[in-house]
Amino acid sequence: MRLFDIDCEFERVDAPLPIFLARVDAVRWLEFARAIAETQGQLLSLWGSDRRDTGAGFEVCVAYRSAAGLLWLALALDPAQPAYPDLARYFPPAGRMQRAAHDLLGIVAADADDTRPWLRHAAWPADYFPLRSDVTGQERFDPGTDDYAFVRVEGDGVHEIPVGPVHAGIIEPGHFRFSVVGEKVLRLEQRLGYKHKGIERRFVGMAVDEGAVLAGRVSGDSTVAYAWAYAMAAEALAAVLIPPRATWLRALLLERERIANHLGDLGALGNDAAFGFALAQFSRLREDWLRTNASCCGHRLLMDRIVPGGVACELGHDERRTLRVQTAAIRSEVTALQRIFDDHAGLQDRLVTTGRITPALAEQLGLTGFAARASGRRADLRADFPWAPYDRLDFQICSHTNGDVAARLNLRFAELFESLRLIDAILDELPEGPIHTPFAAPANASGVGWVEGWRGEILVALETGAAGTIARCHCHDPSWHNWPVLEHAVIGNIVADFPLINKSFNLSYSGQDL
């Protein structure tokens, strides 16, 4: 079945990427799910909305990545019994998204296998739903007892190792329940949601310009990607075209963010394999990179540099020269460090075959981003649906097929070098002109932003209400897809390798706990 053979009326969203919106019934909701699965498409996100204050009921939305682009489907639900067909049977990542949607809105995935709470943690009553329009969001509750039903593994010699949610050091909270025999891991089950902070509720009623600041803080290490996705959604709903120079500067910022994270991860991966030299060297390089961000662009992490309508930073001749010198220096130093990694037999022994996700399993579980590309999935928005300026940069997808820690590490090296090349090309071809277009958000409009962040695809779905302020803003992190895959990656490995496997994915806790 081809997607556009399904009897449905599509609306093209005014955005740089191919994005289509359709309102469907429950039958077509499932028809699209089957068609997407059969054509090797991917579920991007699932979320709900409460529209009872406008005379409608509840609504559940899903976004799919297909060969045609992004499909945003909306299904109206019965206000009295807001239920919709389960999608986890087709897309495993949907399970946790559906559980979160229930915790926040009370909408139900009918016949779903797993209906345990995901975000609630007994922090609010089971009949209270924070995103419903008839609650203020200011209610206070005494915490209850969170008796979470972990899956138990039984048998001779099997025992459990609970880790977290509070960890040593500054790592964010998450609970990991290992079932092991000796040192061998039989099963890992995660319990996340400890970072839930009410961001989606906070968006409601904000001015669209003001919301850009919040969107850029959903996940601090992906602030550029979230800010660009949010700005893209805002510009789509306002039908605003930004100046070409602003688009090129956005790409420059996005690639600098990607490099900063890869530099940090390469050092941390070396350190987790007892190679402290790598941590020292890559930490030094990352710090230099961040200081240059601050001196040339105004912020170490590049926060608030992308705004609806364009960008909030300019590059003069001296700044462009500084960036060119730095890309050359980083390229030289990282090339030398990669040779050291490759020649270190003890390091390679820790990395190769550890935490492997095969291409078939990556496809089955919906792995995304650079972790998916390390397992043979050649998917990257910058190449698959190249928007400006990527349509002029001859971007090359980096990929591996081994799917182990070594592949994810080597992919970071490859993507870092490709991003350095892109930065040089952007600096060569950066057009002249303004960097911002006046922006005003209209009432009762919607838009979508879709950007390839350093972890993977980031989605922002933005809607305004009658006053032109935000009625709903859903931000989606690729970690939603990859956390469940980590549970599979650790199976058959030893417990001591878990930190290394975990770091090779480097997923966001707070980015998915909105």
Question: Is residue 2's pLDDT more than 70?
Answer: no
Question: So what's the pLDDT on residue 1?
Answer: 44
> Do residues 29 and 42 touch, judged by C-beta distance below 8 A?
no
Burial of 303 (0-12, 13-18, 19+ CB in 10 A): middle
Min mean pLDDT across 67-71, 138-142, 370-374 is at: 138-142
Which pair of structure tokens corresponds to residue 191? 């319990």
pLDDT digits (tens, 9 = 90+) for 63-106: 999 999 999 999 999 999 999 999 999 999 999 999 999 999 99
Sorting pLDDT into bands at 50, 70 and 90, what band is 197?
confident
Burial of 474 (0-12, 13-18, 19+ CB in 10 A): buried
The pLDDT of 256-269, averaged and rounded, is 98
Dihedral sign from CA coordinates of 147, 153, 155, 157? negative
Which pair of structure tokens corresponds to residue 435? 């960097």
Distance of CA 438 to the CA centre of its chain: 29
Where is pLDDT greater, at 331 or 195?
331
Q: Does residue 91 sit within a domain?
A: yes
Positions of E strands within 40-174:
42-50, 58-66, 69-77, 83-85, 108-110, 158-163
pLDDT digits (tens, 9 = 90+) for 474-492: 999 999 999 999 999 999 9
Question: Any idea what DSSP says for residue 497?
Answer: G
Question: So what's the pLDDT on residue 3?
Answer: 57
Q: Which residue range forms the structural domain that includes residue 44?
A: 3-110
pTM: 0.96
Tell me how far apart the alpha carbons of residues 416 and 468 are, in angstroms, rounded to a whole number.
40
Tell me how far apart the alpha carbons of residues 21 and 481 are, in angstroms, rounded to a whole number.
22
Name the amino acid, one letter, at 168: A
Where is pLDDT greater, at 146 or 388?
388
The pLDDT of 147-151, averaged and rounded, is 91
Question: Residue 29 belongs to a domain with what CATH number?
Answer: 3.30.460.80
The residue among 273, 294, 169, 290 whose CA lies nearest residue 501 is 273
Overall number of domains in the chain: 1
pLDDT digits (tens, 9 = 90+) for 468-478: 999 999 999 99
Q: Is 199 left (phi over 0), alpha (psi -120 to 50) or beta?
A: alpha
Q: Does residue 68 sit within a domain?
A: yes
pLDDT digits (tens, 9 = 90+) for 264-304: 999 999 999 999 999 999 999 999 999 999 999 999 999 99
Q: Which of helix, strand or coil describes residue 455?
A: coil
Where is pLDDT greater, at 352 or 196?
352
Tell me how far apart the alpha carbons of residues 201 and 148 are, in angstroms, rounded to a whole number.
25
Q: Does residue 431 sit within a domain?
A: no
Distance of CA 483 to the CA centre of its chain: 11
Burial of 394 (0-12, 13-18, 19+ CB in 10 A): exposed
* Contact residues for 166 (Cβ-Cβ < 8 A; gap 6+): 173
Q: Does residue 26 sit within a domain?
A: yes
Q: Does residue 316 sit within a domain?
A: no
The residue among 207, 256, 202, 201 whose CA lies nearest residue 228 is 256
The pLDDT of 107-116, averaged and rounded, is 96
Q: Does residue 50 sit within a domain?
A: yes
> Do residues 70 and 86 touch, judged by C-beta distance below 8 A?
no
> Do residues 267 and 281 touch, judged by C-beta distance below 8 A?
yes
Token pair 């090359």: residue: 396
Tell me how far apart the alpha carbons of residues 457 and 459 are, in angstroms, rounded to a whole number.
7
Q: Does residue 53 sit within a domain?
A: yes
The residue among 4, 3, 21 whose CA lies nearest residue 12 is 21
The pLDDT of 177-201, averaged and rounded, is 94
Distance of CA 274 to the CA centre of its chain: 29
Question: So what's the pLDDT on residue 449?
Answer: 97
Q: Does residue 224 sit within a domain?
A: no
The pLDDT of 186-215, averaged and rounded, is 94
* Contact residues for 290 (Cβ-Cβ < 8 A; gap 6+): 260, 300, 301
Min mean pLDDT across 3-7, 320-324, 402-406 is at: 3-7
> Do residues 216 and 304 touch, judged by C-beta distance below 8 A?
yes
Sheet holding 470-476, edge to edge: 446-452, 457-464, 470-476
The pLDDT of 121-129, averaged and rounded, is 91
> Do residues 194 and 176 touch, judged by C-beta distance below 8 A?
no
